[in-house]
Chains A and B, each alone.
Chain A
Amino acid sequence: MIEASSLTVSIGHKLILSGVDFAARPGEVTAVVGPNGSGKSTLIKALSGDLPYGGSITLNGRELSSMRPAEAAALRAVLPQAASLSFPYTVREVVRLGILGGHSGTLPHQEQSLPERALARVDLAGFAGRYYQELSGGEQQRVQLARVLCQVWKPVLDGQPRYLLLDEPVSSLDIKHQLLVMRIARAFAEEGGGVVAVLHDLNLMAACADRAVVMKNGRAVAAGTPADVMRNGLLSDVFDCALKVGVVPQGATPFVLPQTAEE
């Protein structure tokens, strides 16, 4: 489990997160939602070990700040929002960096073909020989996802559940690949790993997440199942515009239409 309690992060003199309690369990996709500037990305960065923090963050029970980079890398992989490369690496060379730490969990002879398998998984089979810089933004994002998947290919290793931390994983993807990425996240959770994903699309959250944490002004203002947080009052308050949650007739998945917003 990834657990944060009374988490406080300041950048310069500005308090970005104040007293956030957060938990992401193995076997679940935990979505982080909230308006721009609410602290979602800062939360992911803190959970990734990128920022000094107050309070505590534990990864499978161990305090994050006491872990060496290699120890943390064996337990979690982080998908950045966007990554530009300074040198002309091929797609395969980028994906292969995921195996760097040697904790993919596959056997050595399988590791050879892991980049190809990961690329096929993100619908980029045949892209291995292309230059990363020549790809579109959405393709680059999926290459990065393939790299991240290689790092923690087996969701559970040596009895320890492992985690994917995804910062806006679908931000530059078309709808087919948005759904593909969310299916990959779901599969990772179903095999025993944990997923934390910052999402902007509330409907995607409602359809794919097991739990959601709602952020506003650097605090976690609500947490629960998607149905728990998809409430008119809560969403209207958090996003500062009047929204009405609906439910599709044939199912229980709640949705919200942007057209319902009132001026």
Chain B
Amino acid sequence: MLSARTILFRRLEAVPEGDRSARARLALLVLAAMLVVVASLSVATGASDASLTAVVKWWLGLVPEDTLSQRDRIVIQEIRLPRTALGILVGAALAVSGALMQGLFRNPLADPGIVGVSAGAGLGAIAVIVLGGTVLGPVVSLFGIYALPLAAFSGGLATTLLLYRVATRRGQTSIATMLLAGIALAALSGALSGILVYLADDRQLRDLTFWALGSLGGATWTKILAAGPVIALAFVATPLLARGLDALALGEASARHLGVPVQRLKAAAILSVAAATGASVAVSGGIGFIGIVVPHLLRLIIGPDHRFLLPASALLGASLLLLADSVSRTIVPPAELPIGIVTAVFGAPFFLWVLLRRRGILDL
């Protein structure tokens, strides 16, 4: 009888040189397992002492109903679970948006943060926070708690569409124009946000600071219901985009010569990025570096093939954001550090290291 080990090695032998798809499949399995572990830890970690084993036993009905206190049950169900779920959603959305945008721009440094999509989404959100009591009062009373996510999504989408209008001429999108226009739009959104911050009162300022640095703190099932479907839409589109993005790495003309409908591919990728970024900015604020570090790291391990890079980014992005969130929750108890600070402290030096190591091969 063949052991699993023999089968694995036989398969590895049969893999042609330069074909990393077997390695990528294995990596997907490992990353999925890692996410399960990290998510369990995330549910088990927190200021309250409800432990994971107690919770799992209680769920499985192995222990009597009253083993967990009422308080612990509420902590788990209404605070930790939604927070973990939101972390998975947002981490996956940020990493996939980054990978999509890098594929679209054929530039390993492209990121929704760079082309102004996050800034546009942020402007929408800040407008609702600051002007919600006055000018935008009717919007807030109409949409209620959905006003903030909707405004951020609209801001992100408006930026992306404007960007597309500016950079597209006669059906051709110029990558260079798009990057430059993105920088200009990010600056404009930043300036308008600055004006709004200047108008804000003390209470709003505290909200804004926390939100601007990013946090999974306010996670509720309502937020997940608001952001989840939008982010899921973007995920559904990614398998259809993968092969096209690989072809696009050769350049737009070569991709078209290979039969890829390039303009449609670009439009679909842009909409996916706007949806995923807008929705995640709305529910968690500005969390940086996940979208740029995760795809980079994965390209080093499994290569740039988007069929594997996109799902692997979703899995690793979710895991890393949950880890960062655990750090932000536990490092200065009982207070909580904004998660954006954690991702930047770990992400920025890592990113610099990657750049230094790979600058030759990436031809940056």
A-to-B contact residues, CB < 8 Å: 45, 48-50, 52, 68-74, 76-78, 80, 83-94, 96-98, 100-101, 103, 112-113, 115-116, 126, 128-131, 133-134, 151
Is B11 at the interface (CB under 8 A from chain A)?
A: no
In angstroms, Cα B358 to Cα A50, docked, is 33
For chain B, residues 1 to 22, give those with C-beta under 8 angstroms from any C-beta of chain A: 16-20
Which listed residue (B17, B170, B260, B261) contacts A92, Cβ 8 A? B17
Looking at B246, B259, B260, B305, which has the most chain A CB atoms within 10 Å of its CB? B259
Would you give the shortest CB distance from B344 to chain A, in whole angstroms? 25
Can you give 6 contacting A-B residue pairs, CB < 8 Å?
A86-B249, A87-B108, A87-B362, A88-B361, A101-B258, A134-B361
A48 touches B16 (CB 8 A): no
Task: Select from chain B the residue with minimum beta-carbon distance to A48.
Answer: B257
Task: Select from chain A the residue with minimum beta-carbon distance to B306.
Answer: A87
In angstroms, Cα B303 to Cα A89, docked, is 7
A128 touches B16 (CB 8 A): yes
Please encode chain B, from 225 to 267, with 1 for each CB lying within 8 Å of some chain A CB and 0 for all others: 0000000000000000001001101110110111111100000
In angstroms, Cα B250 to Cα A94, docked, is 9
Task: Select from chain B the residue with minimum beta-carbon distance to A96.
Answer: B19
Please name 6 further chain A to chain B contacts, defined as beta carbons within 8 Å, in addition to the given A49-B256, A100-B246, sorted by A numbering.
A69-B262, A70-B261, A77-B257, A80-B253, A128-B18, A129-B18
Looking at A52, A90, A98, A133, which has the most chain B CB atoms within 10 Å of its CB? A90
Please encode chain B, from 71 to 84, with 1 for each CB lying within 8 Å of some chain A CB and 0 for all others: 00000000000000
Would you give the shortest CB distance from A75 to chain B, in whole angstroms? 10
Report chain B residues within 8 Å CB of A131.
361
Given contacts A69-B260, A87-B299, contact A80 B251 (CB under 8 A): yes
A87 touches B304 (CB 8 A): yes
Task: Select from chain B the residue with minimum beta-carbon distance to A99.
Answer: B258
Report chain B residues within 8 Å CB of A77.
257
In angstroms, Cα B246 to Cα A94, docked, is 9
In angstroms, Cα B72 to Cα A146, docked, is 63
Report chain B residues within 8 Å CB of A94.
250
Task: Select from chain B the residue with minimum beta-carbon distance to A70.
Answer: B259
A128 touches B258 (CB 8 A): no
Is B141 at the interface (CB under 8 A from chain A)?
A: no
Report chain B residues within 8 Å CB of A71.
259
Is B223 at the interface (CB under 8 A from chain A)?
A: no
In angstroms, Cα B362 to Cα A85, docked, is 9
In angstroms, Cα B247 to Cα A49, docked, is 17
Report chain A residues within 8 Å CB of B247.
97, 100
Is B363 at the interface (CB under 8 A from chain A)?
A: yes
Report chain B residues within 8 Å CB of A129.
17-18
Report chain B residues within 8 Å CB of A128.
16-19
Task: Select from chain A the residue with minimum beta-carbon distance to B19.
Answer: A92
B251 touches A83 (CB 8 A): yes
B253 touches A89 (CB 8 A): no
Task: Select from chain B the residue with minimum beta-carbon distance to A82.
Answer: B251
A97 touches B258 (CB 8 A): yes
Would you give the shortest CB distance from A229 to chain B, in whole angstroms? 28
Give me the 5 closest cross-chain CB pairs, A-B, nearest first: A73-B259, A92-B18, A87-B304, A128-B18, A129-B17
Would you give the shortest CB distance from A90 to chain B, in whole angstroms? 4
Given contacts A93-B303, A131-B361, contact A78 B17 (CB under 8 A): no
Which listed residue (B256, B299, B361) contacts A69, Cβ 8 A? B256
In angstroms, Cα B170 to Cα A137, docked, is 32
A100 touches B259 (CB 8 A): yes
In angstroms, Cα B246 to Cα A103, docked, is 17
Would you give the shortest CB distance from A146 to chain B, in whole angstroms? 12
Task: Select from chain A the residue with minimum beta-carbon distance to B360.
Answer: A133
In angstroms, Cα B19 to Cα A129, docked, is 7
Report chain A residues within 8 Å CB of B18.
90-93, 115, 128-130
Report chain A residues within 8 Å CB of B262.
69
Would you give the shortest CB distance from A143 to chain B, in whole angstroms? 11
Report chain A residues within 8 Å CB of B250.
80, 83, 85, 94, 97
Is B174 at the interface (CB under 8 A from chain A)?
A: no
A98 touches B258 (CB 8 A): yes
In angstroms, Cα B258 to Cα A85, docked, is 15
Report chain A residues within 8 Å CB of B254.
78, 80, 83
Report chain A residues within 8 Å CB of B261.
68-70
Report chain A residues within 8 Å CB of B106.
86-87
Report chain B residues within 8 Å CB of A87.
106, 108, 249, 299, 304, 362
Which listed residue (B17, B249, B256, B361) contacts A50, Cβ 8 A? B256
Is B177 at the interface (CB under 8 A from chain A)?
A: no
Report chain B residues within 8 Å CB of A98.
258
In angstroms, Cα B17 to Cα A130, docked, is 9
Report chain A residues within 8 Å CB of B19.
90, 92-93, 96, 128
Is B209 at the interface (CB under 8 A from chain A)?
A: no
B257 touches A100 (CB 8 A): no
